[in-house]
């Protein structure tokens, strides 16, 4: 009875969802942080339907950022942030790596 309340999934979203599923299924395991970070750059399904969308016209939807988080056994997290340098040119981006220990203070009790 609740099926009618499900959100409608657009074609581009479905294509990207299926692609990440394929990458997770078909790629060698175990995954490294570099594997996950490279998944965000995937352009397998063209400028509009790929994981990293660059658009096919000036006003089409484009990916502006992606992030990957890796938590080490000691509890420190590495955050990989890929940010588009210019919203009109999503093929140019900068990748930043930050350790959580660099931005969060630990409080000793």
Question: What is the pTM assigned to this prediction?
Answer: 0.74
The predicted model gives 16-37 an average pLDDT of 92
Q: Is the pLDDT of residue 26 over 90?
A: yes
Specify burial of residue 95 (Cβ count, 10 A radius: 0-12, 13-18, 19+): middle
Query: Sheet holding 93-99: strands in order across?
Result: 65-71, 77-84, 93-99
pLDDT attached to residue 65 = 92
User: Model confidence over 73-96: pLDDT tens digits?
Assistant: 888 898 999 998 887 776 788 888
% of the chain surpassing 90 pLDDT: 30
């Amino acid at each position: 009875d609740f099926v009618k309340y499900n959100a409608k999934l657009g074609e581009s979203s479905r294509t990207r969802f299926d692609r990440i599923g394929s990458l997770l299924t078909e790629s060698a395991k175990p995954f490294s942080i570099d594997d996950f970070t490279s998944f965000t750059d995937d352009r397998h399904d063209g400028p509009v339907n790929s994981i990293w969308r660059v658009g096919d016209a000036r006003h089409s939807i484009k990916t502006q950022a992606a992030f990957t988080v890796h938590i080490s056994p000691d509890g420190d997290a590495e955050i990989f942030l890929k940010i588009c340098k210019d919203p009109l040119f999503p093929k140019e981006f900068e990748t930043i790596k930050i350790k959580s220990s660099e931005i969060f203070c630990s409080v000793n009790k």
